[in-house]
Structure 1
Amino acid sequence: MFLIFGSDTLATRIARWLGKRHRVRMIGLAESIQSIDGVEIVALPTEMDLAEMPLPDIAPTAVLIFEEIICDDEPVKMLRNYWQNTPVLTTFSLNGAELISIEDLTASAIESRLESLERREGAMEILQYLRSRENKTAAIFCHDNPDPDALASAYGMQYLCQDLSIDAKIYHGGMIEHQQNKAMVNDLNLELRRLILGWEVEDIISSVDIIIFVDFHKAGANNILPEHCQPHIILDHHHLEHPVAADVAFIRNEFAATSSLVASLLMHSEITMTEDVSTALAFGIKTDTLGFTRSFNAVDLRALSWLNAWASIDRLRKFETPPRSMEVLQSFAIALNNLSIVDGIIYAPIENMTDRDSLSQIADFLLQTEGVESVFTFGARRQKIILSARTKSEDIHLGKSLSQTFPDGMAGGHKQVAGGQIPFTFLDSESENEAISRMHEHLKKLFGGLAIE
């Protein structure tokens, strides 16, 4: 049961809400207290000491004090004489009680509501933009070597465009190598076009009506697009360091995954969902939040709950457990053989790397090592050092630190998850071994002193 002292508007509202679920006794002044269904009402003629009040015989789950109607000099101390371990909550300063700041709660509720309105406005701007371009063409670009979040987001946008009579195709640079990514693409029969040559890219961006970026916001940074390419629409959840140029930019870093953002957009569109699209987006959310354990927020939970009505659990499991290639196992062996641990940080360079997507798998695996706070795995591929970084430390922001050290989109990401592609030329290196060694030195200089012991 709950015991409430006071009968102001807030006390009455809380009592009415609690009364639908629990036994509640409300003690207040007769001149202001109201009858409430399901709530025991005790009307006092005036303020008085606790000893004079009709208190319950059993210990309450919590005591809530909304008004100063207890005359004892130390009301909380007196309450402890009755119920030593019962929490006491109050909306005003009272010695020994847990203060619930109405101002803070109100501000938080207003901020949350305003953010919700901002998200809705952003979604409606994109929908209005697309609806006004019926029978047009669109190119949806993922970043290089797209992960499930990028692939699912692009797929969701393609589905929306097609529903609005826009012919949309998905493009990416790099490779799709991770076993999970391949399983997802094959199961969903995703129609993707890999771009390699500059003239291919120029031909596409000059021929379509709408250019859409998903899961990135800067042309030329970890994507095959030329730096001069200006998109019409951007959908991304990554931290924004500089203003972006686009007709409509829907960039919200409170989302842990761009798939959540796209799901929110589809919710507002009232489109008829399919199992394929819902399963893809749910998988995008799950992988980008490391199984809902990393930066998973209320907006992501809402998106996932909505998608759950159509998503296939069996297919999600199928995506998660594809066969692991021998190339990945080889990269694991090299990483385990080469790794070093310095002040709670693992550095794992990988020579002769054949599967770049093995880096993220190795980083996630090593982060679970006892006493380890951060992991950096890196190897060479096509005259670039590919980096995957993870941390559990609250004192490090990987994305910001890496983007400041390796600017212009060479590296970046989130607080606890980041990565990069750093050219050999930036590292003043000509060979693979030299570039790996220089990268190792950069990382130790940047993060060695920030590690948590």
Structure 2
Amino acid sequence: MAYPAVAATIVVAVLATVVGLYALRRFERPMGTRFLEKLKDIDEVAVLLHPNPDPDAMATGIAVASLAEQVGTDPTVQFAGQVRHQENRAFETVLELDIEQIDHVSDVAAEHVVLVDHNRPRGFAGSDSVLPFAVVDHHPGDGTGEVFTDVRTDYGATASIVAEYFENVGAKPVPSAKHASEVDAPYTVPSTVATGLLYGILTDTKRLTSGCSAADFQAAGFLYPGVDEERLDRIANPAVSREVLELKARAIAGRDVRGPFAVSDVGRVSNVDAIPQAADELVQLEGVTAVVVLGECNGVVHLSGRSRDDRVHMGRTLDSAMSDVQDGSAGGHARMGGGQLPLNDGAIRTEFGGTLSREDLAERLFESMSGEV
């Protein structure tokens, strides 16, 4: 009489095992497969880049748009701010990117929003009201998407993550001399996308020499067959403006060097993108292992830091130095970081009612790089 009960128990156990294995298999599916399935479920999507986008952000944006198009979802790539750095402008122009500038949340092209290369909406009026559908990023932060989140801080570039998505779904890069119809694969990586993603990886990892992982090398190798070398060279070697060269010279001439650390205040600038370029130049000086360059533009002091010193995590260094600055923001990775300090009546205000002179700011930066803050 007990046999039916035993049989029922066995059947339930088998079903539970099957369901469990199915759930485990679904959970273990590659992130690219899961991301593509989420894109298939919607009719249109707005792919938002971070403000003043760099090649990693722009490349990731057009790559996500390409994935969306290949599953029948209508994408629009958008950004706030401007594309300013000459290298970034060359990237946009040479690859003939179709990206749209926005100023207000009402300009966002679709209800479903994918954030790439940042994990919290910012840079335009009403950005706080945006609830991202998905987030794909390699920067530290706690921003998440409603249905999909993939933040990998151990990757050197978000472009590497999205390149991996293409590989996950069996896509093949399309050589620049071929048409997508000539490639036998369920999905493809258009040559423009492959070229952009590779350059995004190269820029965010200093040509695969800093802050990168095995995954970045793997992604670069995967993309290579589809790279247009002629376009890549045009992006990598744009003309440098006289203003940028002059600002680099000011940063070097006005540097304050203390041991292995340097700080340079370049004063007022009209092109804030020249500040990180000056930092890149200054950190190459013999004997200098960590630098911060600061300059003022439109009532805001902009900081850009670079480190090749294992003792100095630049993101934490800047965040620590700016911890009590009113309305200030700073952060970044181990090797690079940035910050913005708004001026109030021409002065940097602290949260305790005091002011911070530019000289005091420089002292703080030295102390923070030395680990004294």
TM-score for the superposition, normalised by structure 2: 0.79
Q: Does 1:427 align with 2:348?
A: yes
Q: CA RMSD in A?
A: 2.5
Aligned partner of residue 385 in structure 1, secondary structure: strand
Q: Does 1:132 align with 2:41?
A: yes
Distance 1:356 1:410 in 2: 16
Q: Name the amino acid aligned to 1:291.
A: R
Distance 2:234 2:372 in 1: 39
Q: Name the amino acid aligned to 1:357.
A: D
Contact 1:424-1:435 within 8 A present in 2 as well: no
Contact 2:307-2:314 within 8 A present in 1 as well: yes
Contact 2:136-2:158 within 8 A present in 1 as well: yes
Which of 157, 174, 177 pairs up with 2:64?
157
Contact 1:172-1:224 within 8 A present in 2 as well: no
Which of 269, 274, 299 pairs up with 1:383?
299
Distance 2:367 2:149 in 1: 36
Instruction: Indicate how the Cα distance of structure 1 residues 246 and 406 shifts in structure 2: closer, same or farther if over 3 A, else same.
Output: farther
Q: Does 1:444 align with 2:366?
A: yes
Aligned partner of residue 308 in structure 1, secondary structure: helix
Q: CA deviation at 1:288?
A: 0.4
Q: Name the amino acid aligned to 2:202.
A: K
Residue 110 of structure 1 corresponds to none
Residue 7 of structure 1 corresponds to none
Instruction: Indicate how the Cα distance of structure 1 residues 287 and 223 shifts in structure 2: closer, same or farther if over 3 A, else same.
Output: farther
Residue 256 of structure 2 corresponds to 340
Residue 161 of structure 2 corresponds to 261
Q: Does 1:176 align with 2:65?
A: no
| Structure with greater contact order relative to length (CA < 8 Å, sep ≥ 6) | 2
Distance 1:440 1:288 in 2: 27
Residue 188 of structure 1 corresponds to 95
Distance 1:251 1:119 in 2: 17
Distance 2:201 2:31 in 1: 20
Kindly provide the CA deviation profile for residues 243-279 of structure 1, in whole angstroms up to 9, marking residues without a partner as x: 6353211111121100101111122233212111100
Moved more, 350-359 or 305-314: 350-359
The runs of 5 or more residues in structure 2 that have no matched partner are: 1-25, 172-186, 351-355
Contact 1:396-1:450 within 8 A present in 2 as well: no
Residue 300 of structure 1 corresponds to 216
Q: Does 1:410 align with 2:329?
A: yes
Moved more, 382-391 or 222-231: 222-231
Distance 1:181 1:296 in 2: 21
Residue 203 of structure 1 corresponds to 106
Distance 1:263 1:409 in 2: 34
Residue 366 of structure 1 corresponds to 282
Q: CA deviation at 1:438?
A: 5.2
Q: CA deviation at 1:450?
A: 6.2
Q: What is the percent sequence identity of the aligned residues?
A: 27
The runs of 5 or more residues in structure 1 that have no matched partner are: 1-116
**Which residues in structure 2 correspond to 1:21-420 (within 5 Å)?**
121-133=30-42, 136-196=43-103, 201-205=104-108, 208-220=110-122, 226-240=127-141, 242=142, 244-269=144-169, 270=171, 271-406=187-322, 410-420=329-339
Distance 1:169 1:119 in 2: 30
Moved more, 333-342 or 370-379: 333-342
Kindly provide the CA deviation profile for residues 285-324 of structure 1, in whole angstroms up to 9, marking residues without a partner as x: 0000011100221111111101001002222121111111
Instruction: Indicate how the Cα distance of structure 1 residues 371 and 225 shifts in structure 2: closer, same or farther if over 3 A, else same.
Output: farther
Aligned partner of residue 168 in structure 1, secondary structure: strand
Distance 2:319 2:33 in 1: 32
Moved more, 269-278 or 296-305: 269-278
Distance 1:387 1:118 in 2: 42
Contact 2:191-2:226 within 8 A present in 1 as well: yes
TM-score for the superposition, normalised by structure 1: 0.66
Kindly provide the CA deviation profile for residues 305-351 of structure 1, in whole angstroms up to 9, marking residues without a partner as x: 01001002222121111111111122112212321101211111112
Aligned partner of residue 196 in structure 2, secondary structure: helix
Q: What stretches of structure 1 move > 6 A for 4+ residues in a row?
A: none
Aligned partner of residue 226 in structure 2, secondary structure: coil
Instruction: Indicate how the Cα distance of structure 1 residues 129 and 404 shifts in structure 2: closer, same or farther if over 3 A, else same.
Output: farther
